């Protein structure tokens, strides 16, 4: 299990950064209003205004903004406001020892999956897979409440009270929860940030990829031998696939049903109105019979 990070308190200051695609700063109002509602102060990073082609500033600017947020003792959490693409471009230059010395909440998903993998392994820290602040006005009330896990240690329990779940393969597993966006996980393969799956529970989610593309990515994971030693699989939101849910579940069964591990689909984790935030790097229990996922706290 990775090291948990200090929890937030009302009145704390958090940092807002863009480590991937270009941001329209005039769209930040909903994000800052939401932080106001949580009782948090905020510092807006230089990358919110920066522009370099399609990126939120050059690699050097995005890296510097991130490092400044990590070094600043006032800042207790770093929220990535937008995804797209770009975080992989700075992963190799991040000072992971700086993160070890200044552990704090790091929150985001989608393109940030690449950094989740990198930080989990090289700084040995828990990170948070949760809604990007630029889209906070598009998530529902239950997803907004998930930010409260940052204020006190709480075990999360995902049951069918949140969404209908489908058992792809039976069993019960305990292991460290890892993963995120399927494309970004595949992008790590062959790099020093390659996702480690041994004995772990893998979360996968994706947006706007067709069934053949999803198939090709799962095949890549399989041929890279990333499925052989998994403890379990959590199938999150696969939105805008151009196919119905039955086609997706059929594909998932082809890859996961015969691994002898629990696999459950239907989790509202990903690019959807309901996007349940979870810590990555902590121990979890996936019970495919009871259709329940229990996750230990990511903060202390």
Tell me if residue 110 is catalytic: yes
Are the beta carbons of 90 and 20 closer than 8 angstroms? no
Tell me if residue 205 is catalytic: yes
Q: Which two tokens stand for residue 221?
A: 């994971």
Tell me if residue 206 is catalytic: no
List beta partners, residue 11: none
Which H/E stretch holds residue 99?
helix 96-101
Of 72, 67, 33, 27, residue with least CA distance to 48: 27
- 3-class state of residue 21 by DSSP: strand
Q: Which of 121, 209, 271, 272 is catalytic?
A: 271
Q: Which of 20, 21, 110, 135 is catalytic?
A: 110
Q: Which of 121, 205, 206, 209 is catalytic?
A: 205
Q: Looking at 114-159, which runs of residues are DSSP E strands?
A: 127-129, 156-158
Task: List Cβ<8 Å contacts ≥24 apart for 212-220.
Answer: 214/182, 214/238, 214/241, 214/248, 214/251, 215/251, 217/182, 217/183, 217/186, 218/182, 218/251, 218/255, 220/186, 220/189
Residues marked active site are found at 110, 205, 271
């Amino acid at each position: 299990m990775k090291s948990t990070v200090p929890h937030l308190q009302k009145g704390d200051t958090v940092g807002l950064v863009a480590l991937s695609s270009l941001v329209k700063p005039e769209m930040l109002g909903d994000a800052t209003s939401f932080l106001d509602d949580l009782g948090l102060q905020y510092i807006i990073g230089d990358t919110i205004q920066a522009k370099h082609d399609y990126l939120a500033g050059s690699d050097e600017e995005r890296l510097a903004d991130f490092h400044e947020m990590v070094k600043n003792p006032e800042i207790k959490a770093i929220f990535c406001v937008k995804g797209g693409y770009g975080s992989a471009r700075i992963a190799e230059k991040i000072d992971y020892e700086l993160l070890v010395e200044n552990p704090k909440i790091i929150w985001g998903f989608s393109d940030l999956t690449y950094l989740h993998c990198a930080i989990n392994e090289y700084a040995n820290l828990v990170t948070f897979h949760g809604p990007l602040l630029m889209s906070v006005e598009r998530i529902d009330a239950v997803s907004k409440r998930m930010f409260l896990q940052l204020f006190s240690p709480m075990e999360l329990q995902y049951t069918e009270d949140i969404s209908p779940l489908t058992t792809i393969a039976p069993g019960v597993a305990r292991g460290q929860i890892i993963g995120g966006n399927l494309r970004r996980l595949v992008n790590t393969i062959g790099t020093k940030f390659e996702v480690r799956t041994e004995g772990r529970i893998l979360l996968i989610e994706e947006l706007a990829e067709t069934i053949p593309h999803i198939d090709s990515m799962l095949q890549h994971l399989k041929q890279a031998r990333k499925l052989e030693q998994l403890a379990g699989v959590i199938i999150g939101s696969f939105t805008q696939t151009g196919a119905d849910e039955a086609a997706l579940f059929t594909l998932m069964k082809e890859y996961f049903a015969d691994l002898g591990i629990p696999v459950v689909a239907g989790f509202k984790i990903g690019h959807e109105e309901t996007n349940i935030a979870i810590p990555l790097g902590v121990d979890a229990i996936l019970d495919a019979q009871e259709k329940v996922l229990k996750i230990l706290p990511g903060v202390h």
